[in-house]
Amino acid sequence: MGIDFKAYGQVVHAELDRQDGSRWVFASGLTQPSAVDSDSGLITVTASGITSYLDKMPWLDNWNPIAIDPFHVVHRIWNHVQSYANGNLGVVVTPADSGTLLLPGFYFDGSEFVVDFFAYFVRASDYRDCLEEVTSLCRDIPIDFVEKSAWNASRTLITKTLELAYPRRGVRQDALAFRIGENVLSAEPTAEQEIDWVSDVIVRGWWPGKMHSSVLSNADSLRFRKVIKDEDVLINSRERSAVWARRKLTRRQVPKHWGSIRLDMYHPSAPWGSYDVGDDILIGGEMPGSGRTQAWHRILTIQPDDQIGEVMMTTKHVDAFNYDAIDFEG
């Protein structure tokens, strides 16, 4: 009898060979609706990463910690969703602490909401989305995470781990080369960013009895000046207003870059298994309209195909990311 693949019915694991011949559990995922080819009888099984389990999952918790470590919030969320019957995926979140305190949080559903620096409020009646909560922490603190899977010592169980990092994970791959026409078989330049480009950001906030304002400019001599203004009554320090202005500007000034590349999986300049999601890689080649160029990109996704020996990556210019922590005087 075959396996009855159904949505959220199984956890599947993708195991691939490294260059040295060792086996690597590249990814684990929750099954999604499958499709059967009526002619061949082949089943196409899709799976989404274990973090997707948090999507649309309500956080039914009442919690009001003071000056909490942001990693504790992620631990709390996973402990909560895995405490229910048929809800334990066996995901382990590590490490326990980041070494920093939780700063005011933002929601990214079209509005911005800031909570007081000294407290983190969660009410079951708010039905806060668990994945949105983790995503907002990653964008605002900032923190980072990656899913990892591996066989245990006796090869009887695959452990699933969510590795957290502050302010980011990944390494700068100085020893690897990604050259178009060499080991990069093809590359697609990214289009103009969907978010509106601006040159100046003005952020103003009113906390009771005080006003905080920051103006940040990064003019592009080849574009006309464009300004946006953002106001939030709960921005409660000049440090927060200054950093938030910088983050808003960073997101709107991403240089031209390659949005995806197709890579020779076994080329010695960047062999399979020597890089990972979150790493910074230097991509060089002929950019349409810009000529010969090279720039550091962060790896966003990796899709290997060991049958044809190629890897598809999505990437983004490192200047699109801002990992500066918010430091408060005193």
Confidence at 106, pLDDT banded by 50, 70, 90: very low
Please state, in angstroms and rounded to a whole number, the distance separating the CA atoms of residues 274 and 305: 16
Sequence-separated contacts (24+) of 121-127 with Cβ below 8 Å: 121/63, 121/64, 122/59, 122/61, 122/62, 122/63, 122/64, 123/62, 124/59, 124/60, 124/61, 124/62, 126/59, 127/58, 127/59, 127/60
Check if the beta carbon of residue 234 is closer than 8 Å to that of residue 121.
no
The pTM of the full predicted model, rounded to 2 decimals, is 0.76
DSSP 136-171: HHHHHS--EEEEEEEE-TTSS-EEEEEEEESS----
Is residue 318 pLDDT above 50, yes or no?
Answer: yes
Q: To which H or E segment does residue 130 belong?
A: helix 130-140
Residues 151, 155: Cα–Cα separation, whole Å: 5
Q: Which residues of 241-257 are buried (b: 16+ CB within 10 A; e: fewer)?
A: bbbbbbbbbbbbbbebb
- DSSP helix/strand/coil, 201: strand
What are the tens digits of pLDDT across the range 48-71?
Answer: 999 999 999 999 999 988 778 889
Cα–Cα distances in angstroms (integers) from residue 275 to residues 151, 176, 272, 282, in the given order:
20, 9, 7, 12
Q: Which residue has the tokens 């060792």?
A: 22
For residues 159 and 41, the model is more confident at: 159
pLDDT in the model for residue 190: 84
- 21 φ, ψ to 5°? 90, -10
Res. 100: pLDDT tops 90: no
Single-letter amino acid code for the residue at 25: V
Q: What are phi and psi of 41, to 5 degrees?
A: 80, 5
Burial tier of 57 (Cβ tally within 10 Å: 0-12, 13-18, 19+) = buried
**Rounded Cα gap, residues 253 and 181, in angstroms:** 28
Domain boundaries, given as residue ranges, for the chain: 11-49, 51-165, 178-190+256-320, 200-251
Could you give the 3-state DSSP secondary structure of residue 174?
coil
The alpha carbon of residue 18 and the mean position of all alpha carbons in its chain are separated, in whole angstroms, by 25
Name the residue type at position 125: S
* pLDDT computed for residue 35 by the predictor: 86
184-205 pLDDT, tens per residue?
Answer: 999 999 876 544 566 676 666 5
Average pLDDT over the chain, rounded to an integer:
81
Fold held by 178-190+256-320 = Thrombin, subunit H (2.40.10)
Distance CA 288, CA 305 (A): 27
Confidence of residue 110 (pLDDT cuts 50, 70, 90): very low
Is the pLDDT at 232 greater than 60? The verdict is no
Reduce the secondary structure of 219-248 to three states and give it as a string. Answer: CCCCCCCCEEEEEECCCCCHHHHHHHHHHH
The strand ranges marked E within the chain are: 11-17, 23-31, 35-36, 43-44, 47-49, 58-59, 91-94, 128-129, 144-151, 158-165, 178-179, 184-189, 200-207, 210-217, 227-232, 258-264, 280-287, 291-305, 310-317
